[in-house]
Amino acid sequence: MSKKNKVFSGLDRLPKGLASEHLTEGCVVLEGGAFRGLYTSGVLDALMEAGINLSCTVGVSAGALNGMNYVSGQIGRSGRLNLTYRHDSRYVGLKAIRKNRGVIGFDFILKNVNKEDPLNEERFFRPDRRFIVVATDCITGRPRYFEKSEGKTIFQAVRASASMPYVSKMVMINGVPYLDGGCSDKVPFRWPLDQGYQKVIVIRTRPMDYRKKERSDHSLTDRLYHDYPQFSRVLDASNANYNRQCREMIELAAKKKIYVIAPSQPIDISRLEGDMEKLGGLYFLGYENAKKQLPAIREYLGIQ
């Protein structure tokens, strides 16, 4: 790979700045999907530029990483980090695997990069916005919804939420092992509805008609996680549960219980995609999709 395309050529076109401090009551739900999360980055930047900052954010995996920058109000930061550091082996590659026992270098992003392009922690930790991260308890197989109000534990929860099964070491939090929140709750739109939120925006990383192939061969899961039978069962059923969630989201959107933003075209992006122009294009697809829907989003939220 030539040096020139190790970063996205259009980095200078990404928006920058701080979101307004005005909050709108409601919850935004952020699906995971590794580098498909660049779609979410584009959507969130468009929302922040438009002054749409919801009071609650729930994120899974890459959605949790995106959500941190939405809560801190840092326009462009999520996209900038991924479109700059994707080919740094401390972030994705052998150095990340050696240091983090997983394919993503969380230490690099949460520590090294944070020195150069820091998260606005003062704004992130303000109590007027809720931030919830979903991780899967490997003992029970159930989702655990970590709250920002629990303090710095939230960063360890983000690490757990984005630790993909099969290729990542479990993340210990208070003596409990956790992995990717998407194993047990890929699109956690039920959480805000159960909490009583009347306005829920769901940001998908797949088109609305996308469905996953349901698993029939459970041998690998059983072999890797034989000491965690509850987690193994949940992981095997995760694709079927995702397809059920997709059907339910369509029904809820039709009733205006939720508002769904999803890619307007098929996404030809692998979980660990390395083509920087594809990734940059995905960011701007999210950005433009959200821009076009701003009138409908404002109408749904009941704001001007």
Helix (H, G, I), strand (E, B), or coil: what is residue 22? coil
Among residues 45, 88, 137, 180, the one annotated as catalytic is: 180
| Residue of 269, 201, 208 lying closest to 25 (CA atoms) | 201
Q: How far is CA 5 from the centre of its chain?
A: 25
Among residues 41, 45, 61, 168, the one annotated as catalytic is: 61
Q: CA torsion angle for 52, 54, 60, 61 (degrees, to 10)?
A: 50
Block residue for tokens 């508002």: 259
**CA separation for the pair 64, 158 (Å, rounded):** 6
| Residue of 1, 118, 77, 106 lying closest to 283 (CA atoms) | 77
Phi, then psi, of 192 in degrees rounded to 5: -65, -35
Rounded to a whole number of angstroms, the distance between the first and last alpha carbons of the chain is: 47
Residue 61 annotated to the active site: yes
Residue 222 annotated to the active site: no
Structure tokens at 211: 């469905």
| Residue of 261, 274, 239 lying closest to 44 (CA atoms) | 261
15 neighbors 41 (Cβ within 8 angstroms): no
SS (H, E, C) 33-60: CHHHHHHHHHHHHHHHHCCCCEEEEEEE
Pairing of strands 200-203, 259-261: parallel
Q: How far is CA 8 from CA 31, 82, 87, 106, in A?
A: 23, 9, 11, 21
**CA separation for the pair 304, 300 (Å, rounded):** 10
Q: Which residues are catalytic?
A: 61, 180
